[in-house]
Structure 1
Amino acid sequence: MDWRRLDLNLLKTLAVMLEERSVAQAAERLFVSPSAVSHALARLRRAFSDPLFVRTPQGMIPTTRARSLERPLSILMSSLEDARGDPHESFDPAKTQRTFRIAAPGALDLTLIPALTRVLRTRAPDWSLAVETFERRSYEADITSGRIDFVLSVGGHTPTGERIASSVLWEDELVVLAGRGSAIYSTHEALSIEDYLTQRQIYPMPWPVTQNFLDIKLARTSRHRTFALSVPSYAALGEVLETTDLIASMPDRTARAILRSHPTLRIVRVTPPQRSNLSLLWAAMGQPEPAQQWMRNAITEAASSVPRGAPEPNSPDAP
């Protein structure tokens, strides 16, 4: 499609239709007649060679093509709203409405995501946050197309290109969480990798073992962990660890978060320490819109407020 020949006023109709999914309601919001909206939709369908919306008893349902345009249109409309404002007036998130989509590992559901949500509810109450499960793959197309605004990547192994910028939010240390039934519960020393590998474990990760940075590292020396239970999230860990002899490995901040609701569990450090970075990825193309820049700063601020779970190596509490 040649964008130079498209009446850009039609995009406003499409954006409102994606929100309302009703010709009558879209017409009311646009201050035009329903027939004008129907005429605009007919032109849009010809331009995109797609029905865009299908009439059903539940309303006008967008097609896959229409849904793919939803996020780019949202960014475009928000940017135009920002451009209309006073260039000398600082951006105020409390006066805007935005939806941001982030890909994040499940471990962050207990740490960074709650901290970020608190920031948003306080300073940007009309903003929404949609979190989807992080996968070990390239997110360049997702980020540059606007489908994803930010990616929170563990271990620095997410492929990136020239159009992706990144910054490190924090360093995680892999620790073990154990309950009273575990053989390592009473230990006051850091657990060696050899002893660590003798323990039967829970695997609470959303990606396969073959994609986990620790298991990849162990496999290079023909060593492997033994899993008695694999689960897709961290939700059941506390209860299982309290009532069995199993242990679970996780980032130290996540372990500290679980301890808040399961205080009888213990954090045990591993030696030599296994560490990895949590990085923030975003589109590096052009000048960022104010909302995007503000959100990036909010994520960084939220990350700085999440406390470490393992004691510092030289502190009195360190093993």
Structure 2
Amino acid sequence: MPRPDLNLLITLDVLLDTGNVARAAERLGLSPSAMSRALARLRATTGDPLLVRAGRGLVPTPRAIELRARIGPVLRDAHAVLQPDTALNLHTLAATFTLRCSEGFVETFGAALIARVARDAAGVRLRFLPKLDKDSTPLRQGDVDLETGVIGQDMGPEVRAQRLFGDRFIGVVRNGHPLTERRITPTRYAAGQHILVSRRGRDRGPIDDALDREGKTRHIVTTVGGYGAALALAAGSDLIASVPERHTSTMRSALTSFPLPFKVPGMTISMFWHPRLDADPAHRWLRACVREVCGDKP
């Protein structure tokens, strides 16, 4: 069965409104002959003459009068569908947003973000998932609504990104650790026993690259897959953990933190989303909540 030409609805609406082929053609920016052809198609499609001559004008048939009453609501609904959706009612919004976050985000920002969301939309639920890699497939497939982390090479080129905050590496040891008894120098830091954090099990990271520039090498005793594990080991031993400062702020409350005594490149934490959600009002609101809770403060 052939698909109907929905443009004919607009043509019919204008024809019935004007009752004149020439005026209808002028309103739609068509030639009179093109409008006459459109009227012929309408007659063939509906099986009704629709407009018939009465003196010098055209008058609608009973079928045309019936159709006119039905065309108006259809065209108004179609117009509404094709307009930007700006009528977001947060008080009645019921939705679950899935956020995939790098380690430390939930521990540091999760409670404040949940409270911020609930303040506007009590019917919204947040689902947090761990970010085990930088693959953007979950965003592309719609399994994840929003991600946080550092931009990586594995991220799809179509993914949208917006900066949240800058972060830097710091050192962390147990309270009373011998390293904190005197000024911490690159030599004293490197001479300690260290925990390497590597999600992929690598044997070095950006801190080792920075120490190379100082002519130093640290002694790595163990490698773990996350900051939480590194901080737990540091709390129960003389091992030294090096973690992002802001990302782990609530995880280090019972430990001693110190600035690294050498320059290590900082990192930018961003949020990512798929472009299909770019204009969605609920998603724009969610992104605004995330920026408000953990974005750079003026």
Sort the TM-score into its range (normalised by shorter chain): 0.5 to 0.7
Q: 1:272 aligns with which of 246, 263, 267?
A: 263
Q: 2:170 aligns with which of 170, 175, 178?
A: 175
Structure 1 position 122, deviation (Å): 2.6
Q: 1:143 aligns with which of 134, 139, 146?
A: 139
Alpha carbons 1:181, 1:244 under 8 Å: kept: no
Alpha carbons 1:138, 1:159 under 8 Å: kept: yes
SS at match of 1:106: coil
Percent identity, aligned pairs only, is 18
SS at match of 1:257: helix
Aligned residues: 219
Alpha carbons 2:108, 2:248 under 8 Å: kept: no
Alpha carbons 2:207, 2:264 under 8 Å: kept: no
Q: Which moved more, 1:293-302 or 1:105-114?
A: 105-114
Q: Distance in 1 between matches of 2:182 and 2:214?
A: 26
Q: Distance in 2 between matches of 1:227 and 1:246?
A: 9
Amino acid at match of 1:266: T
Pick closer, same or farther for the CA change 1:247–1:286 going to 2, 3 Å: closer
Pick closer, same or farther for the CA change 1:106–1:146 going to 2, 3 Å: same
Unaligned runs of 5+ in 1: 5-81, 307-319
Alpha carbons 1:133, 1:206 under 8 Å: kept: no
Length-normalised TM-score, structure 1: 0.57
Q: How does 1:256-295 map to 2 (within 5 A)?
A: 256-260=249-253, 262=254, 265-270=255-260, 271-285=262-276, 288-295=279-286
Pick closer, same or farther for the CA change 1:226–1:125 going to 2, 3 Å: farther
Name which one, 1 or 2, has greater alpha-carbon Rg: 2
Pick closer, same or farther for the CA change 1:217–1:146 going to 2, 3 Å: farther
Q: Distance in 2 between matches of 1:253 and 1:305?
A: 11
Q: Distance in 1 between matches of 2:98 and 2:248?
A: 26
Pick closer, same or farther for the CA change 1:298–1:218 going to 2, 3 Å: same
Unaligned runs of 5+ in 2: 4-79
Q: Distance in 1 between matches of 2:128 and 2:176?
A: 35
Alpha carbons 2:165, 2:296 under 8 Å: kept: no
Q: 1:163 aligns with which of 152, 158, 161?
A: 158
Structure 1 position 274, deviation (Å): 3.4
> Which residue number corresponds to residue 149 of structure 2?
153
SS at match of 1:267: strand
Q: Could you list the structure 1 runs, at least 4 aligned residues long, displaced by more than 6 angstroms after superposition.
A: 82-86, 216-223
Q: How does 1:100-249 map to 2 (within 5 A)?
A: 100-139=97-136, 141-154=137-150, 156-189=151-184, 191-192=185-186, 194-204=187-197, 206-209=199-202, 212-214=205-207, 225-235=218-228, 240-249=233-242
SS at match of 2:238: coil
Structure 1 position 273, deviation (Å): 3.6
Q: 1:304 aligns with which of 292, 295, 298?
A: 295
SS at match of 1:245: coil
Structure 1 position 236, deviation (Å): 5.4
Q: Distance in 2 between matches of 1:131 and 1:157?
A: 20
Q: Which moved more, 1:207-216 or 1:110-119?
A: 207-216
Structure 1 position 96, deviation (Å): 1.1
Structure 1 position 293, deviation (Å): 0.8
The superposition leaves residues 80-99 of structure 1 with CA deviations (integer Å, 9 ceiling, x where unpaired) of xx97999664x233321111
The superposition leaves residues 59-105 of structure 1 with CA deviations (integer Å, 9 ceiling, x where unpaired) of xxxxxxxxxxxxxxxxxxxxxxx97999664x233321111112211
> Which residue number corresponds to residue 90 of structure 2?
93
Alpha carbons 2:85, 2:281 under 8 Å: kept: no
Amino acid at match of 1:199: G
The superposition leaves residues 284-316 of structure 1 with CA deviations (integer Å, 9 ceiling, x where unpaired) of 24752111111111111111389xxxxxxxxxx
Amino acid at match of 2:180: Y
Length-normalised TM-score, structure 2: 0.60
Q: Distance in 1 between matches of 2:200 and 2:91?
A: 36
The superposition leaves residues 4-25 of structure 1 with CA deviations (integer Å, 9 ceiling, x where unpaired) of 9xxxxxxxxxxxxxxxxxxxxx
Alpha carbons 1:106, 1:206 under 8 Å: kept: no
Q: Distance in 2 between matches of 1:219 and 1:137?
A: 27
Q: Distance in 1 between matches of 2:250 and 2:241?
A: 14
The two structures, once aligned, show a CA RMSD in angstroms of: 3.7
Pick closer, same or farther for the CA change 1:305–1:165 going to 2, 3 Å: closer
Pick closer, same or farther for the CA change 1:118–1:286 going to 2, 3 Å: closer
